[in-house]
Amino acid sequence: MAENRINRTETTREQKSHRKSWQRPELLPTPNEEPGYVFRWVRVSTQGQIDPTNVSSKLRQGWEPVKAADHPEITMVTIENEKFKDNIVIGGLMLCKIPQEAVDERNGYFEEQADAQIKSVDNNLMRENDPRMPLFNDRQSKVTFGKGNN
């Protein structure tokens, strides 16, 4: 009886391939990740008009244009401007990258700015505050559970 059996490795089952469901296509492709870098699309032009102020501002902040040769997975590259012919430019946006440390420093700077603004507003309100009619309470919340009838 064992002689009539067919080895499992020699038989294959017919597999049905499931059709992939439709998804909305991305407007801008996502490049493959590079460790230690953050990517961003920077405006180069709007309605056919070049925007050199925006590009130079981003370059001064540390953003570097990404070369098309470095990311061959992005195939929808169109040359819209001779100045950026070696870079990835799609729809007036150029792909740029910056080291993660620079992004963290920038975020820290703006967090400090926001904290300083909040403290300034709080100090201004506290100057006008009267104990008989307080303008606001401290930024604290209290959580209670149940009815509290004990």
Give the position of tokens 């195939």.
75
Q: Is the distance from CB of 89 to CB of 77 less than 8 angstroms?
A: yes
DSSP string, 118-146: HHHHHHHHHHH-BTTB-S---S------S
Share of the chain above pLDDT 90, in %: 29
Per-residue model confidence (pLDDT) at position 103: 92
Q: Which two tokens stand for residue 5?
A: 């059996």
Prediction pTM value: 0.57
The burial of 55, by beta-carbon neighbours within 10 Å (0-12 exposed, 13-18 middle, 19 or more buried), is given as buried
Q: Which of 12-26, 34-48, 82-96 is predicted with the least confidence, judged by mean pLDDT?
A: 12-26
Q: Find the mean pLDDT for residues 98-116.
A: 94
Q: Find the mean pLDDT for residues 63-82.
A: 74
Q: CA end-to-end span of the chain, whole Å?
A: 78
Residues 7-19 have pLDDT tens digits of 776 666 666 667 7
